[in-house]
């Protein structure tokens, strides 16, 4: 099939107007030896019905989370997303538009981004947010670029930062001439001394995850004070965004740049993507903030209007002088975050976070009753906790699937030494029954495995 609304007769009319006999003549600028001969080796096209069937068949080879009780997080957190979100996102005036270059006919996207920027500032306790970047990992990489300059070329990442985030930061740093160092964890959190042991005069920023990759809640105030004493910035990467309903906003604890990932509030996890990276900062650093930013102005009759602004920072103006090449944002997912957080509102987010906290602690306590299971770290946590298991996490995970349970994340995939560590994520959508069932299944599996 195709989506071409031109008949043979119309094609003839067009060719005649151009003054040629065949479409092929239009390609005469392409040297003959570069013309592709034959047909691309792709499956034959299908009708719409057949295509849909083929895709349904392929999707059926996956086990989707709806069939399971999910306890996996580690950067992809499944919280409640209101039904209305997808309905509103599906309005094609939103999703079939492009970057709002023509503000007079793009006020929907622009106002949505302005509201999104406001929400991000509110969540993080910051002055200013951009219109979003690709995801939580690239948000930290962009924050590094903001923090570093010719003199300050080093950045120190807590070992409690998501490993894939650290890897992304390294990819960006390599080539820009920045050095990435690491501050080791001690009992699950990053002591100030671990940063200080690595810091030099060239240190641009400390980076810490909140709560961190093991679920532990870091004392970012202490780390902020230590960073500032060194004339370095504190970059905070918020892991599970819903934590902002209960944890103090990083901006109120001294953070200079706050990053996050809006996936939990965008819709289903979709195998991780698209996601949306949040990045907010202080008024002081506003000119360093990369990417699109929407501001308020007026039209020539004095009516309030929204427009892309501060574009002098961007690559289409500065070309090779731009510090970031990002020229888009995740506008549709910014809209989704705006809709979800407007729907939850001030008290919904708080309730979601408090329920999550309660559930996660209940679940942890139930699992700790099982013989052979211990906490990896005894630290305050929010929605995630790491447990030492008597069997490999991979094995537990495999057997839990038979009980229609997904999780925990096998920390062995990040570090072989952690193959007995399972990272459990629990949110407000898990019921007491779900968690009791999890504990029972874990106990049965561990007992079975011990006899093997």
Partner 1 sequence: MSKDLFNQTEALIFDKSRPGHKAYFLPEMNIEKLDKNKVIPSHLIRKTEADLPEVSEIDVVRHFTHLSNKNFGVDTGFYPLGSCTMKYNPKLNENTARLPGFSWLHPYQPVETIQGALQLMYLTQLSLAEITGMDKVTLQPAAGAHGELAGIKIIKAYHDSKGDTKRTKIIVPDSAHGTNPATATMAGFQVIEIKSSSEGDIDLDALKAVVGDDTAGFMLTNPSTLGLFERNIKAIAEIIHGAGGLLYYDGANTNAIMGITRPGDMGFDVCHVNLHKTFATPHGGGGPGSGPVGVKEFLAKFLPIPTVEYVAYKDKYILNYDKPESIGRMKSFYGNFSVIVRAYTYIRALGADGLKMSSEYAVLNANYLKKLVGKHLAVEAPERFCMHEFICTPKNIHETGVHTLDIAKRMIDYGYHPPTIYFPLIVEEAMMIEPTETEGIETLKEFADVVAAIVNECRTDAEIVKTAPHTTYLRRLDEVKAAREPNLRYRRTVKA
State in Å, rounded, how far the first CA of the chain is from the last one: 55
- 292: DSSP letter: -
In this chain, which of 300, 402, 416, 451 binds partner 1, going by CB under 8 A?
300
In this chain, which of 112, 190, 203, 239 binds partner 1, going by CB under 8 A?
112
CA quadruple 220, 242, 409, 182: dihedral, nearest 10: -20
In this chain, which of 190, 337, 359, 383 binds partner 1, going by CB under 8 A?
359
Query: With CB under 8 A as the contact rule, which of the stretches 36-44, 152-160, 185-193, 224-232 interacts with partner 1?
Result: 36-44
Smallest gap, in angstroms, from Cβ of residue 256 to partner 1? 17
Whichever of 197 and 401 has its CB closer to partner 1, that residue is 401
Are 235 and 255 a contacting pair, CB within 8 Å? Answer: yes
> How many other CB atoms are found less than 10 A from the CB of residue 108?
15
Smallest gap, in angstroms, from Cβ of residue 432 to partner 1? 5
CA distances from 378 to 74, 186, 320, 369, 381 (A): 18, 11, 49, 15, 9
In this chain, which of 27, 150, 371, 452 binds partner 1, going by CB under 8 A?
27
Smallest gap, in angstroms, from Cβ of residue 265 to partner 1? 11
CA 302 to chain centre: 38
Smallest gap, in angstroms, from Cβ of residue 166 to partner 1? 9
Whichever of 199 and 213 has its CB closer to partner 1, that residue is 213
CA 447 to chain centre: 37
In this chain, which of 144, 307, 376, 426 binds partner 1, going by CB under 8 A?
307
Whichever of 170 and 196 has its CB closer to partner 1, that residue is 170
* Strand-pair category, 277-281 with 257-261: antiparallel
> How many other CB atoms are found less than 10 A from the CB of residue 388?
15
CA distances from 197 to 50, 97, 161, 181, 194 (A): 62, 50, 18, 10, 5
Among positions 119-148, residues that touch partner 1 (CB under 8 A) are 119, 121-123, 127-129, 131-132, 134-138
Using rule CB under 8 A, residue 78 touches partner 1: yes
Using rule CB under 8 A, residue 118 touches partner 1: yes
Range 188-214 burial, b when 16+ CB lie within 10 A, else e? bbbbbebbbebbeeebbbbbbbbbbbb
- Residues 3, 1: Cα–Cα separation, whole Å: 7
Using rule CB under 8 A, residue 219 touches partner 1: yes
> Which helix (DSSP H) or strand (DSSP E) does residue 423 occupy?
strand 421-425
Site size toward partner 1 (CB under 8 A) is 211
Among positions 197-216, residues that touch partner 1 (CB under 8 A) are none
Query: With CB under 8 A as the contact rule, which of the stretches 150-158, 194-202, 328-336, 438-446 interacts with partner 1?
Result: 328-336
User: x/- site string to partner 1, residues 165 to 194, per CB under 8 A?
Assistant: x-xx-xxx-xxxx-----------------
Using rule CB under 8 A, residue 293 touches partner 1: yes
């Amino acid at each position: 099939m195709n989506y071409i609304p031109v008949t043979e007769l119309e094609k003839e009319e067009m060719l005649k107007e151009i003054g040629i006999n065949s479409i092929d003549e239009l390609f005469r600028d392409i040297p003959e030896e570069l013309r592709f001969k034959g047909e691309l080796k792709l499956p034959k096209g299908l009708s719409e019905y057949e295509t849909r069937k083929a895709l349904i068949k392929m999707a059926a080879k996956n086990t989707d989370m709806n069939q399971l009780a999910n306890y996996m997080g580690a950067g992809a957190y499944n919280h409640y997303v209101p039904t209305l979100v997808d309905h509103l996102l599906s309005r094609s005036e939103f999703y079939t538009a492009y970057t709002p270059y023509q503000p007079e006919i793009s006020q929907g996207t622009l106002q949505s981004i302005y509201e999104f920027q406001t929400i991000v500032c509110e969540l993080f306790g910051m002055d200013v947010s951009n219109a979003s970047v690709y995801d939580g990992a690239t948000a930290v990489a962009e924050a590094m670029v903001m923090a570093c300059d010719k003199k300050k070329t080093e950045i120190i990442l807590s070992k409690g930062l998501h490993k894939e985030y650290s890897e992304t930061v390294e990819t960006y740093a390599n080539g820009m001439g920045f050095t990435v160092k690491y501050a080791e964890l001690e009992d699950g959190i990053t002591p100030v001394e671990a940063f200080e042991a690595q810091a030099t005069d060239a240190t641009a920023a400390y980076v810490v995850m909140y709560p961190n990759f093991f679920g532990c809640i870091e004392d970012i105030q202490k780390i902020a004070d230590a960073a500032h004493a060194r004339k370095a910035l504190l970059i905070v990467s918020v892991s599970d965004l819903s934590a902002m309903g209960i944890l103090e906003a990083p901006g109120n604890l001294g953070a200079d740049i706050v990053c996050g990932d809006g996936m939990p509030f965008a819709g289903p996890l979709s195998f991780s993507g698209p996601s949306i990276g949040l990045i907010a900062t202080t008024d002081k650093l506003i000119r360093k903030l990369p990417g699109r930013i929407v501001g308020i102005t007026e039209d020539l009759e004095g009516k309030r209007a929204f427009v892309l602004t501060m574009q002098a920072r961007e690559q289409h103006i500065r070309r090779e002088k731009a510090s970031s090449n990002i020229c888009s944002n995740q506008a549709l997912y910014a809209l989704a975050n705006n809709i979800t957080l407007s729907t939850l509102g001030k008290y919904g987010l708080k309730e979601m976070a408090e329920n999550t906290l309660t559930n996660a602690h209940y679940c942890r306590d139930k699992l700790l009753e099982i013989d052979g299971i211990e906490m990896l770290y005894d630290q305050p946590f929010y929605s995630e906790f790491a447990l030492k298991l008597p069997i490999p996490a991979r094995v537990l995970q495999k057997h839990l699937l038979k009980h229609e349970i997904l999780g925990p994340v096998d920390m062995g995939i990040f570090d072989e030494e952690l193959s007995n560590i399972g990272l459990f994520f629990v949110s407000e959508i898990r019921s007491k029954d779900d968690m009791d069932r999890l504990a029972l299944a874990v106990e049965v599996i561990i007992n079975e495995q011990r006899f093997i």
